[in-house]
Amino acid sequence: MPSEFDLIRRYFTRPAAHADLGVGDDAALFRVAAGMQLAVTTDTLVAGVHFFPDAAPRDLGWKTLAVNLSDLAAMGATPRWATLAISLPSVDEDWLAAFADGLFECATRYGIDLVGGDSTRGPLAMTVTALGEVPAGTAITRAGGLGGDDLWISGQPGLAALGLAILTGAEKQWPNDHSPLRALHRPVPRVELGVALRGAARAMLDVSDGLAGDLGHLCECSGRGAVLEAAALPLVALREAGADEALARRCLLSGGDDYELLFAAPPAARDDIAALARQLDVPLARIGHLVAEPAPILLCEADGRTTEITPAGFDHFATNG
C-alpha cells in the first residue's frame, strides 16, 4: 500500500511554472508581479451533493478545477496557482490516476500550477483554492452595472441542467444526450473571455446556480433592475438536444452548473463585444438590459407581455436535500 507521500508524489506533483516552490514543503512560495492584485476563490465538490459517487474520475478532476477557474474568469483574472484538498474514502490508484489526469488536463489548458494541498481519508470530496492575477483596479466585480447597460451571456446556459435531468432519469429516453452530458461533466471555464472583457464589461459573474438567480445577484450588487428579452435567450442548443420550449426555459433560467459568464456592458461596446465573440469563438447573446432602479427581474415576451421572474437559484441551505 503506497504511503500518503507516495500518492502525493505520484499523482499531484508536477513542475510549477509560476512558483518558486510547489508541492513538497510546508507551504508554496510564489511572487505576485508588481502592479497586480491577487484574486482568490474556493469551491468544494462533495460526492452525493455535487456529483454522483460513481462519476468518471477524469471528468471530476477536470470539473474540480474548472469550476474555480470560472470564478477567476468572472473577475477578469488570469489563473496562476491552485491548491487541492482531497478527502478519499480509500486509496484506489486507478481512480486517482484518472482524477489527476483530468485535473492536470484542465491545469495545462489554462496555465495554472497546482502548488499544494492536503490529502486525507474521509467521505469523497474535493476543495480547490485558485489564485489569479489581475492588474490592480481592473477586476470586474458584480457591482458596477448601470441602468441602460446591455446584458450578455456566453455559451449555452441550461445545457448542464438538461444533462442532469437526463442523468437522474427525470427526462427519459433522450434522443440526443451528448452535448447536455458533456456540458455537465466537462464545463468550459471562460477564462480568455473573462480576461478580454476587462475594460469592456462593467459588472460580471459566472452563472453557476441558474441565470435568474445569478442575474439577481448582479442586480442586487449593482443596485439595479433587469429586463430579459425572451426572444433573445440562447435556447438553440437546448432545442437541438430535444428540449421543448418549457423545459428549455426552465433549464436556462433556473438550472445550474453552467459556468458561463453573465455581464453588463454599455451599448457603445456592442461592436467590440461581437468582435470578441468571433475572435474567441465563444457565442455571446445580448439578452436584455439593466434598469437604473432596483426592481424585480422582468421577462419580456416577443408579443410585449412581461412577467416577473423569481430568482430561484440553488441554495444548499434552503432545500431539504
Binding residues (CB under 6 A) for ligand ADP: these are 8, 12, 23-26, 84, 86, 114, 116-119
Q: How far is the CB of 28 from Mg ion (least distance, A)?
A: 12
Give the residue among 14, 11, 1 at the shortest CA–CA distance from 97. Answer: 11
C-alpha to C-alpha distance for 102 and 59, rounded to whole angstroms:
6
Give the long-range contacts of residues 46-49, CB within 8 A, separation 24 or more: 46/123, 46/124, 46/125, 47/123, 47/124, 47/125, 49/316
Q: How far is the CB of 185 from ligand ADP (least distance, A)?
A: 21
Integer CA distances (angstroms), 197 to 137, 264, 292, 295, in order? 14, 10, 22, 26
Binds 240, which of ligand ADP, Mg ion, none (CB < 5 to 8 A, cut-off by type)?
none
Q: How far is the CB of 112 from ligand ADP (least distance, A)?
A: 13
Q: How far is the CB of 118 from Mg ion (least distance, A)?
A: 4
At 78 the three-state DSSP class reads strand
Binds 114, which of Mg ion, ligand ADP, none (CB < 5 to 8 A, cut-off by type)?
ligand ADP
Binds 12, which of ligand ADP, Mg ion, none (CB < 5 to 8 A, cut-off by type)?
ligand ADP
Q: How far is the CB of 101 from Mg ion (least distance, A)?
A: 23
Residue with Cβ nearer ligand ADP (21 or 36):
21
Residue with Cβ nearer ligand ADP (93 or 118):
118
Residues 6+ apart with CB under 8 A from 265: 149, 150, 152, 197, 200, 201, 202, 273
Q: How far is the CB of 103 from ligand ADP (least distance, A)?
A: 9
Residue with Cβ nearer ligand ADP (85 or 167):
85
Q: How far is the CB of 158 from Mg ion (least distance, A)?
A: 39
Residue 198 in contact with residue 269, Cβ under 8 Å? no
Residue with Cβ nearer ligand ADP (84 or 243):
84
C-alpha to C-alpha distance for 43 and 152, rounded to whole angstroms:
25
Binds 24, which of ligand ADP, Mg ion, none (CB < 5 to 8 A, cut-off by type)?
ligand ADP
Q: How many CB atoms lie within 10 A of CB 241?
A: 25
Binds 25, which of Mg ion, ligand ADP, none (CB < 5 to 8 A, cut-off by type)?
ligand ADP
Residues 6+ apart with CB under 8 A from 273: 152, 197, 200, 265, 284
Q: Which three cell numbers stand for residue 294?
A: 432596483
- Residues lying near Mg ion in the complex (CB under 5 A) are found at 118
Binds 23, which of Mg ion, ligand ADP, none (CB < 5 to 8 A, cut-off by type)?
ligand ADP
Residue with Cβ nearer Mg ion (86 or 273):
86
Type of residue at 308: E
